[in-house]
Structure 1
Amino acid sequence: MDFETMFMREDVDQLVESFLLLKSKEEVRAFLVDLCTPREITDLAQRLEVARVLDDGKPYVEAQAHTGASSTTVSRVSKALNGTWGGYRNVLIRLNDQLHEQG
């Protein structure tokens, strides 16, 4: 199943919509705890950190060493970071903007 087909599924669309309904960090944390295992949450966090390190211009080897991610994960994240969907890129831009607003 490809991503476009997956997002046409009603249950997947409901999942996407559910994230938009959350209004605070606490609500997101509670939903993640109910939805995912601790390992799944830390895996997602690790991938985002890999994206951040790669976006900072660091090489794959440094991203691996910094995050503990496998070479396969670093490669997959890099492909997504530079891919057409732009999910990592959007989040990294917004996180960076938020950091500058706070500082």
Structure 2
Amino acid sequence: MVEISSYIIFLAAIYLILNIIAFCAYGFDKAKASMNRWRVTEKTLLILAFFGPFGAYAGMMAFRHKTQKKPFTWAVPLFMLIHIILGVALVYFVL
């Protein structure tokens, strides 16, 4: 039988990977924008932000990318808030 802590570690690792992917996508898109080349679509960046909002926000700040675009200025912080609320609820009700 697998302990519950193994599941938590597994889920935390997946969550970390999702945030790293989001961070890298924002950096990749910024690099492509600087070279006037093919870009990652805004829809894709927002989807990545939904699953990895902290990485997306860090990417926005680190690369100064999409910080003036309306959908990003409200959606990414909203996604972060949703993840914080879900995280607190998970800790409070499950653990």
Q: TM-score, normalised by structure 1?
A: 0.30
Q: What is the TM-score with the length of structure 2 in the denominator?
A: 0.32
